[in-house]
A and B are shown apart, each in its own frame.
Chain A
């Protein structure tokens, strides 16, 4: 009997009415960069068994990273004892039933699994060298390359059984430019993939360019105009919106989208799909954290809110269907967030802008609860009469997320993978930009 089967069986023997277990294993290398130098090369491997014992409506959770029999037994005993000691979660219904899992593609690359650390160091070195080729005035303050593989077994007492594995590679560089005693603000550029296909020269080039763009800043007067969100910034906005269409925020009362199903909440230009089975997606997997199958869910169609994202728990409460978005038995999270592209090129979007701000980084906050957007634009260009003019000294953006999505006037044809999103550049009209 496997450890997972044993854990479930033992939990039920000890008095659990339902049980859920996850065994996760991972290993990988990390190449760390500090001050333009490869400062460390690290190897990690780990394992974790997590057991949830449910006694009626009481959930006790226990985890350990030691898999010898004694520790596994102790782990299960602790979960059951904890469940018995606490009070009820009156909202609890039941664990998910087994359902068929989808086939997922391009999530495991043997080239990553077998990559030698020497090769990983070489890849990072390409980025560092490219930064210096672009400009000697740019320093890589900090950076990391992570490669790894992971596997997971999930099971519950209702017969759910799933096994999955994946590889990933990710890298980021934090750069800063210096010139004649002036220090720019830092720039971040990152890339992530399930395959060994990141262009490390391009990563270095963009990281260097972005750092240089935060030197020689000029102040701007306050104005009301277009806000053009570069890929990262667009991803940041949409992921904050995703909190509001999570069934978790909805049933708890912290989402203003609560009573908006079927309504036009955003511009007709905006269509969002949560796609847990997208080939090669960074969050693509056969099943979610409760063992329900991942799926493709149309969330926002031409601005109309079609559904919320749910796990079994929130779906039961909201009388909806689970969408394969369990982040845990109780929590919900988006998988891959795909925003449909528009029909203008990035150049057209800029050339059609009378006055606006093209923004790559935002130091601030977007709250999904009240929609408040407030913060400072970083790596931002003034756009005037269809031309990118000059990088601006930090100016503040003040507005509301729920107004922003109503005022989207264009999205680019081009899209990029940014973290777990596939995202175009997004243009928003009528935004208050607070300058000097």
Chain B
């Protein structure tokens, strides 16, 4: 992909020759994506697919309002037409808009960034990818008839994004993402028990060459089987130790969304609280465009802003929000590179990238050992959070802790609480930072994100039998 990208000249030409329309700002985002996936279920390759998609999203700011149009045709004439349409839509939108959109100033960049991976999956034979999925399936079905259903998904895609703006920006990003997902259903005597594991991110096929994929298959199978006999615990407010994965979800869903500047402007629990203590002083939370292998890797965002790390909470004090150029102008703050779009069919929104809690100084085993009574909660199977920080998640696996020891396991456990109250109750933070829980965040649009953190101890409501 080192050769000159031919679309750039077309994009510049469209912007130049429409500059007399009278808009304040315009940008054009070209995206090309080529993907591969294979699904294996219960020993059989169900289907395998390749896909290719390309298109251009055009955003125009005119009379203080946004208009947007996309085009899958790459010809100058069609792109010009699409830009003119976006311009007209901006004018339409301006008629009902009270406050005019302003954009915070940024440094205009010209750059070409490439994700660094060892083994480009596009160059790996299809047979190797199929074999990987089949082997994971075999490990799981090897546990016998107790395994009722298995799905193993392997996916990879490469993308090129080209961003050009009327301010003179010209940014090319080349990236690759790979994912491996495993679903297991174990069953016995009419009881069914599900388990799920995943790995991936901005990584090449090299991550599948080692032991990791089969280890995950084993972990998922054993958990599904083990939890067949597990019941629901006695519910109520409890002391809990959270593993890295569940913490990642709480930090993202329950807390992170409240620190997105568009939500802050609408009014949420973090509005107007910069500089205030909102969490235990053991808590520091960041949203980071790095590390380069994480699923939410974002060197520049989708409005050409050089992305930087946002320290949302530092030692318990709220420091910053995540911003787009528009929200930064409203709040009188600085853009942070958090404006991201699902693809060329969408205009960018304020989104998280890789959001995690920084480590502390506890040995994770010590946290459990030093807990008299409570639960050790591992992993998550989804959940929801609210504008006021209230959340509810389903935990994959829960263990009762008694005098520092793990006792029996439970499944189908839900936890709930308020993000701020939970973060205030944190009294132990482990030193085992893990960033590697790739996911897709939905906020009207989908965006690849990542998250993480160490093991921590806090208080929340465990849902179970009363």
Contact = CB atoms under 8 A, between A and B. Distances in A.
B445 to A, nearest CB: 10
B144 interface: no
B49 interface: yes
A253 B390 contact: no
A374 B38 contact: no
Nearest to A255: B192
B193 interface: yes
B404 interface: no
Given A61-B47, A125-B96, A141-B387, A398 B464 contact: yes
Given A45-B72, A394-B390, A432-B466, A78 B192 contact: no
A370 interface: yes
A364 B127 CA distance: 40
Interface stretch (B86-94, B284-292, B294-302, B307-315): B86-94
B22 interface: no
Interface string A213-247: 00000000010000000000000000000000000
Interface residues of A, number: 76
B219 interface: no
Given A89-B44, A183-B268, A185-B390, A40 B92 contact: no
A82 B126 contact: yes
A253 B184 CA distance: 11
Interface in B187-206: 187, 190-194
A37 B98 contact: yes
Interface stretch (B50-58, B171-179, B429-437): B50-58
Contacts of A86: 38, 45, 48, 126-127, 130
Given A117-B89, A144-B444, A370-B194, A40 B67 contact: yes
A329 B394 contact: no
A235 B184 CA distance: 27
A360 B347 CA distance: 32
B239 interface: no
Contacts of A279: none
A363 B52 contact: no
Contacts of B126: 82, 85-86
Contact of B387 (A60, A176, A330): A176
A42 B464 contact: no
Interface in A78-104: 78-79, 82-83, 85-91
A3 interface: no
Interface stretch (A63-71, A190-198, A302-310): A63-71
B46 A365 contact: no
Contact of B463 (A38, A40, A176, A374): A374
A370 B394 CA distance: 14
A252 B48 contact: no
Given A58-B45, A64-B52, A87 B70 contact: no
B155 interface: no
Given A37-B99, A40-B66, A374-B414, A59 B191 contact: no
A43 B194 contact: no
A64 B387 CA distance: 39
A330 B46 contact: yes
B235 A364 contact: no
Nearest to A313: B46
A183 B42 CA distance: 48
Contacts of A139: 266-267
Contacts of B98: 37
A376 B192 CA distance: 23
Contacts of B44: 87-91
A37 B97 contact: yes
B54 A65 contact: yes
Contacts of A142: 266, 444
Contacts of B416: 376, 394, 396
B49 A62 contact: yes
Contacts of A66: 52, 54, 72
A34 B306 CA distance: 24
A363 B72 contact: no
B49 A121 contact: no
A82 B52 contact: no
B392 A375 contact: yes
B4 interface: no
A46 interface: yes
A39 B94 CA distance: 9
Contacts of A327: none
Nearest to B236: A434
Interface in B159-190: 185, 187, 190
Interface of A: 32, 34-35, 37-48, 52, 58-66, 71, 75, 78-79, 82-83, 85-91, 117-118, 121-122, 125, 139, 141-142, 144, 176, 178, 183-186, 222, 252-254, 256, 329-330, 363-365, 367, 369-370, 372, 374-376, 378, 394, 396, 398, 432, 434
Lowest 4 A-B CB distances belong to which pairs? A253-B148, A61-B49, A42-B68, A41-B89
7 contacts: A38-B97, A41-B89, A88-B44, A141-B387, A184-B388, A222-B466, A398-B464
